[in-house]
Structure 1
């Protein structure tokens, strides 16, 4: 029974994550339509981590655009006790 519930959870999570580009979460640098201008050169990857819902750590990568704004390129979550 437990394995069936885990399989259903992962199936639902896969359906929810097929939206294409990652969406900013509360705590993201660009959440709520915020525009952040970076002092770094275009093409630089900026890493950001924060504590998300249910105690999970959210790892994000942003790419500095030619106009200096940040574009969210990847997002993943994991337990707070893991270090990258």
Structure 2
């Protein structure tokens, strides 16, 4: 029973994110901004900024044929490393 509930949860999560990552405040394309890149189509552009609660947000964009940026990946991590 527990495995069935987990499978349903993962399926619903995958459906909710089917459209890809959403821009956060601090993203290059947040709020519907259209950013044109001088780079060739297919070039990968990386962006990093400090997000909510002190977490570092890492984003990857790909330059589209019309020169705009498309957010393809987004992840978060701590903004520091313990020694």
- TM-score tier by shorter-chain length is 0.7 to 0.9
> Which residue of structure 1 aligns with residue 43 of structure 2?
44
Superposed CA offset, 1:41-67 (max 9, x none): 000000000000000000000000000
Cα displacement string for residues 15-64 of structure 1 (whole angstroms, at most 9, x for unaligned residues): 49942200000000000000000000000000000000000000000000
Q: What are structure 1's unaligned runs of at least 5 residues?
A: 1-10
1:34 corresponding residue in structure 2: 33
| TM-score of the aligned structures, taking structure 2 as reference length | 0.77
Match of 1:19 in 2: 17
Runs in 1 of length 4+ with deviation above 6 angstroms?
none
Aligned length: 70
Unaligned 5+ residue runs, structure 2? 1-8
Q: Which residue of 2 aligns with 1:3?
A: none
Q: Which residue of 2 aligns with 1:58?
A: 57
